[in-house]
Amino acid sequence: MTRIVVSPEQFHLVDFDAGVIAAVAERVADSVGLPPGIEIRVEVDETSPLGSGRLTGTDPVTVSLQSGALEDAKRPRRLREASVEDILGRLLFRARDRLDPSFGDPPEKDLTLAQGTAWDAYSVGRCARLGFGDTQARWRYHFRNRHGFTDVADATFDRLWSATGLDWSDLEAACAETEAARQPA
C-alpha cells in the first residue's frame, strides 16, 4: 500500500481536506504505476493562490504545490478533486519516469523551459488517457510558446501527447527537432 503524507494536516486559509487529497493521490499513484509501498509527500503552500507545482524529490516522492493548483476556479479557496488529479498525475508521471533507470535522470536544475514543457506534454498526454482531465488545447498552446508556432512543433506535440515508453533521449530529440524548425534557413 502506498503511504501518502499531506502537509499541512489541517488547512486554515483554504477549504481543503488533507484526507481527500491523500485519497486522490493514492488513486493517481496507482493509476500512473508507481511502485506499491512507496511514500508520497504532498506539500501544499496554502498561503499562495498561485497554481504551480513541482516534483522536489523521489526518495520519498515529494511534490510541492501552491494551493491555487488544487482550487476550483469557479469557487476560490475550495478544493477541486479534478485539479488534484491533474497536477498530481503530471508530477507523479515525472516521478515514475525518474524512478525508472532506463528513462534517464536529467538534473532538474539543468532542464530548459523547452525540455520541461516537452516532458509535461508527454506526462499530461498519459494522464488524459487515464481519464485525468483532457486539457490538450491548453497544453498545446503552452508547448507552442516554448517550441514555436510551427507545423513541426504541432506534430512533435501530437507525438509526445500520444506516446508511451519514451525516455529522456526521446524528449531531448523532440526539443532538438522543434529548435531546428525555428532556426532561419
SS (H, E, C) the chain: CCEEEEECCCCCCCECCHHHHHHHHHHHHHHHCCCCCCEEEEEEECCCCCCCEEEEEECCEEEEEEHHHHEECCEEEEECHHHHHHHHHHHHHHHHHHHCCCCCCCCHHHCCHHHHHHHHHHHHHHHHHHCCCCCHHHHHHHHHHHHCCCHHHHHHHHHHHHCCCCCHHHHHHHHHHHHHHHCCC
Cis ω on the peptide bond leading into residue 60 (within 30° of 0)? yes
**Segments of the chain with pLDDT less than 50:** none
Statement to judge: residues 91 and 120 lie in one domain: no
Give the range of the structural domain holding residue 50, as residue numbers without chain letter: 3-99
When divided into structural domains, the chain yields a total of 2
* 18 and 93 part of one domain: yes
Tell me how far apart the terminal alpha carbons of the chain are, to the nearest angstrom: 55
Decide which of 99, 116, 145 is a domain's last residue.
99
Note whether 89 and 11 are same-domain residues. Answer: yes
- Indicate if 68 and 134 belong to the same structural domain: no
Q: In this structure, are 53 and 121 located in the same domain?
A: no
pTM for this entry: 0.93
pLDDT tens sequence across 13-28:
999 999 999 999 999 9
Which pLDDT does position 30 carry in this prediction?
A: 94
Would you say how long the chain is, in residues?
A: 185
Residues 87, 12 share a domain: yes
Nine cell digits for residue 182 = 525555428
| pLDDT given for residue 184 in this prediction | 76
